[in-house]
Structure 1
Amino acid sequence: MNSLKHHILSGLFMWVLSMQAQQRPNILWINADDLGLELGCYGNLDLKTPNIDRLAKQGVLYKRAYATAPICSASRSSMITGMYPTSVNSQDHRTINMTPLPDGIEPITTYFRRAGYFCSNGNSHNMSRGGKGDFNFLAENIFDGTDWRQRKEGQPFFAQVQIHEPHRDFVKDKEHPISADKVTLPACYPNHPLLRADWAMYLESVQACDKQVGIILDRLEKDGLAENTIVFFFGDNGRPHLRDKQFLYEGGLQVPLIVRYPDHFKSKVIEKELVSLIDVSATSLELVEIKLPNYLQGNIFLGKKASKREFVYGFRDRAGDAVENMRSICNGRYKLIWNRTPDRPWMQLSSYKKAQYPAFSLYNVLYKKGELAAPFNQFMVATKPEIELFDLKKDPLEFNNLADSKKYQKIKEQLFQEISTQMVAFEKNRIPEGEKTIEKAKASSLKYYVEKIKTHNPLFTADTTDEELLKDWENRLLKK
């Protein structure tokens, strides 16, 4: 009898929990791979992004949102846990010796599930397929499925939909092609025809991303879920160009962030408030009234408990065969980059970039000829300064390092004290990779490089020169 009573009470409890859960809004993360701020709603007039622009008009757009890392796997590991990459030993890109999450730390899907949510991760091009995860830690069954339509009737969901574009290889937009002659190339790159052609292809890929966003939003509307779903749209890291992705400059860390919740959040643009993608996790849980675990390192930036962030931090360790140790801190006006491996050049070999970035070969060839003008040639030096300091208001391109200027010593000392203190806590669980692991990563990256360049030219090998690669890029991108 006691057993029957317990069974009835247990069932009643689960029913009540289910009824409570149905009152909660859904959460949808739309995550675009390698997307910078090149969108109409962020002021870029060289491309057409009507769907993302429409989302921005209906929601809250943040102009100062930052990824925690300028590369996908570290950034994504951070978002799904609400922790900085080093705090969950996920700082190296596609960690070879993965470890479980530290004791007590769980993916945030654990907390959604406990509250009755269905958790999915899907591919925007085919929602029956799993979307990109790319987490640098060991864990099982982080998601329940690939599509919010797979949930039980009436069950709330936490869904991610992954959009591959505008990650390289870029895709053409035959409906709205973009002329390389008419684009406004960012001033952080030399105005070279090859780079203009590459940039135009990037913008066409952003337009492809926008079409996917439209399909996702229309699907949500068709399912009658738009009014009760909080949509977060963002890029996982900055844009896929030479001085951007994999680096802690603005182009590598700054991402779009738009949040829409009909009848709850008024449409507006947040110009100056700093937001980190690590905050998306905490905010998502808070907005559906799920109690936050006390270890989360993100802030709540929307809702009744919203608070302003004083600093955003950036983390860069090994990316493929390019081994680095960089940290950054930004207070909105000034950014300090702490290069903890200053003996390595910015242009050290990155097989990924050598295979897929025409700028990588172009810079090398022009520099050898003495034809890479200032300030672009700064990127080619053999070693880096340990500290870089930039005034983002006066120098948004981050070319004028103020670290040695007497006028800026106070702000330099303040930011360095802050970052060096915080890293003691943020890096407590970081496990540096050993030499054998690094060599294994380098071998894997070299294999990737050879396979990739052979898709463009079967005669290419690991010894193919920058001059040969450059000629191939010119044949492919500049042919009339």
Structure 2
Amino acid sequence: MKKVIKLIWVLPILIFGCKEVKEEKPITPPNVIWINADDLGRELACYGNPDIKTPNLDQLAQQGTLYTNAYANAPICSSSRSSQIAGMYPTTINCLDHRTINMTELQDGIKPITEYFKEAGYFIANGSGRDYLKKGGKRDYNFIPDIKYPANDWSERAKGQPFFAQVQIKYPHRVFERHEQNPINPETVTLPGCYPDHPLLKADWALYLESVQKCDDIVGWVMKRLEDEGLADNTAIFFFGDHGRPHLRDKQFLYEGGLQIPLIVRLPEHVDAGKIDKRLVSLVDVAATSLELAGIESKHKMHGKVFIGDEQEKRDYVFGFRQRAGDAPDAIRSITDGRYKLIWNQEPERPWMQLSSYKRSEYPAFTVYRVLHKNGELKAPYNQFMADSRPEFEFFDLETDPHEFNNLVSNRDYQEHFNRLKSVLQNNLKEYDKNQIPESEETIQKGKNGSQKYFKTKMKKLGLPEAPSDEELLLYWNKTLIKAN
């Protein structure tokens, strides 16, 4: 396999006017680091958000390439992380149901890329942010056996041994945390257009942005450490969110907010520094690209495409997948070509706002929407989300409707694009979905029981009844988020 990046640490041997010929240093395999932020959308200063300060990620983008059209292929952590580490779509490895209850082994010769790195002589590590030395990083894989990481930290490798390390950052996953140095005023933030202008939602959004700033702090710590240890010039760094942002219409759904992620890649010697890349990239591509950078060939054909260097492959479409999440069973698939977006609700009888005990306990918007709707105060287009059922297909023009409110399925002017995406999606799902094992009603009930137990425990912790009314929850959120400010 060709190397996609020729990692040379010296100037060309012959330079005009230079009498000396410098000896070339031996080419050594690059280290590869994944910095994986939990539940992070594109709300960074380097992506144009004016309400937030992310100096370390801004610097990383200046030193590398910022990808403006990168997507996760599942809008929830365990499904996405399983897909990332295998370089395969989560349905193909039976990993789409969140925290899959009836896990299976990876089939068809598929292996996590950690195995390929180990076989090539790499040291592998997985640690948790600044707690790297004390605590292993989040895995959340939906297959067996679990990956055994020999260490949390790359410092435990043999001298000169290349490494593949993951740094797992818990931010901005809920529960959000305040950023004491750079607090954000809820009254001045700009909510995404898919949400109504409501004081509770703005307060929640401001806390989300502060948690993103805490993520940025840890990225700065990682970058400084690489510099201090003399590793920066021979390390490829991939920074990304494991899926989209943790808000009502985003996480767990295949709308843009649930799948859009930031992706910044800094290569050794800062190749392509300051570049902005507008191509479609899927998070499933990071595994294939990481192996290619290290000159390692996978034994199984990955769904991921190489998006860096001489061997890069063009991606025409990005696919999205959603199945059961806690006590909210579902089956949704999506496809986009970057301009047009098709969502296939395979169980359209389920409402968008079916009970999700996790979201009801953690997301103020879940309660705000229910109370406003009950009182007839949730206006269009936001009230669409409260419908008793969904259309089987949703089709959007992302250029004119980036918040995905105007379903164009019945619009004759768009039939050609709708039919094209529908055909590509359904044809590809014949392969991608073939290994997905449907959960039995008994298994789904186990998922529901676990989520509802979580909800009761959370309510007790908050000092609320086990089964609070929406009005009681709303009072709690007002007291916590509004009065606290």
Structures share fold, TM-score greater than 0.5:
yes
- Correspondent of 2:111 among 87, 92, 106: 106
Q: Which residue pairs with 2:392 in the alignment?
A: 386
Amino acid in structure 2 at the alignment position of 1:409: Q
Instruction: Kindly report which structure 2 residues correspond to 1:301-340, keeping only aligned pairs within 5 A, or say none.
Output: 301-340=307-346
Letter in 2 for 1:401: N
Q: d(CA) in 2 for partners of 1:216 and 1:243?
A: 32
1:144 shift after superposition = 2.3
1:469 paired with 2:473, answer yes
- Correspondence for 1:80: 85
Q: Is the CA contact 1:82–1:278 (under 8 Å) kept in the aligned structure 2?
A: yes
Residue 454 of structure 1: how far off its partner (Å): 2.0
Q: Which residue of 2 aligns with 1:67?
A: 72
Decide whether the 8 Å contact of 2:234 with 2:269 is kept in 1: no
Output the amino acid matched with 2:415: Q
Secondary structure of the corresponding residue to residue 388 of structure 2? coil
| Residue 168 of structure 1: aligned partner | 174
User: What is the TM-score of this pair, normalised by structure 2?
Assistant: 0.93
Is the counterpart of residue 440 in structure 1 residue 446 in structure 2? Answer: yes
Distance 2:375 2:345 in 1: 28
CA contact (8 A) 2:38 2:169 kept: yes
Query: Which residue type is aligned with residue 138 of structure 2?
Result: K
* Distance in 2 between residues matched to 1:45 and 1:215, nearest whole Å: 23
Code of the residue aligned with 1:251 in structure 2: it is: G
SS at match of 2:92: helix
Q: Distance in 2 between matches of 1:291 and 1:96?
A: 32
Structure 1, residues 386-412: CA drift from partner, whole Å, max 9, x if none? Answer: 000000000001000001111111111
Structure 1 pair 148/368, CA: closer, same or farther in 2 (3 Å)?
A: same
In percent, how many aligned pairs have the same letter? 58
Preserved CA contact (<8 Å) 1:100 1:137: yes
- Which one of 102, 105, 122 corresponds to residue 97 of structure 1? 102
What RMSD over aligned residues (CA atoms) do the two structures have, in Å? 1.3
Deviation for aligned residue 1:452: 1.5
Q: 187, 190, 200: which is aligned to 1:194?
A: 200
**Distance in 1 of aligned mates of 2:266 and 2:221:** 16
- Take 2:417 and 2:120, find their aligned partners in 1: how far apart are those partners? 44
For 1:264 and 1:469, locate their aligned partners in 2 and report how far apart those are by CA, in whole Å: 49
Report if the CA contact (8 A) 1:107-1:142 is conserved.
no
Is 1:478 aligned to residue 475 of structure 2? no
Answering whether residue 304 of structure 2 is matched by residue 276 of structure 1, we say no
| Structure 2 residue 194 is the aligned partner of structure 1 residue 185 | no
Please give the alpha-carbon distance, in whole angstroms, between the structure 2 residues aligned to 1:42 and 1:201.
Answer: 19
Q: Distance in 1 between matches of 2:171 and 2:363?
A: 16
Residue 402 (structure 1) aligned to one of 403, 408, 419:
408
Compute the displacement of 1:264 (Å).
5.3
Q: Give the equivalent residue in structure 2 for 1:241.
A: 247
Matched positions, count: 459
SS at match of 2:405: coil
Q: For 1:125 and 1:72, locate their aligned partners in 2 and report how far apart those are by CA, in whole Å.
A: 20
Q: Do the aligned partners of 2:30 and 2:268 also contact (CA within 8 Å) in 1? A: no
Which position in structure 2 is the counterpart of 1:228?
234
Determine helix, strand or coil for the equivalent of 1:233.
strand
In 2: Cα distance, 1:353 partner to 1:454 partner: 16
CA distance in 1, matches of 2:286, 2:454: 33
For the residue of structure 2 that corresponds to 1:411, the secondary structure is helix
Shift of 1:431: 0.5
Q: 1:104 to 1:470 in 2, by over 3 A?
A: same
Please tell me the residue identity of whatever aligns with 2:448: K
2:53 alignment partner AA: K
- Which has a greater percent of helix? 1
Q: Which residue of 2 aligns with 1:12?
A: none
Post-superposition shift, 1:293? Answer: 2.8
* One-letter code aligned to 1:371: E
Q: Is the 8 A contact 1:70 1:248 kept in 2?
A: yes
Shift of 1:140: 4.0
Q: Does the 8 Å contact 1:281/1:298 carry over to 2?
A: yes
Separation (CA, whole Å) in 1 of partners of 2:26 and 2:141: 28
Report SS of the residue matched to 2:125.
strand
Shift of 1:21: 11
* Structure 2 match to 1:214: 220
Cα distance in 2 for residues equivalent to 1:263 and 1:473: 48
Partners of 2:70 and 2:99 in 1: CA distance: 24
TM-score, length basis structure 1? 0.94
C-alpha contact (below 8 Å) 2:252/2:258 kept by paired residues: yes
- C-alpha separation in 2, matches of 1:111 and 1:381: 47
Is the CA contact 2:74–2:321 (under 8 Å) kept in the aligned structure 1? yes
Structure 2 distance, partners of 1:141, 1:406, is: 50
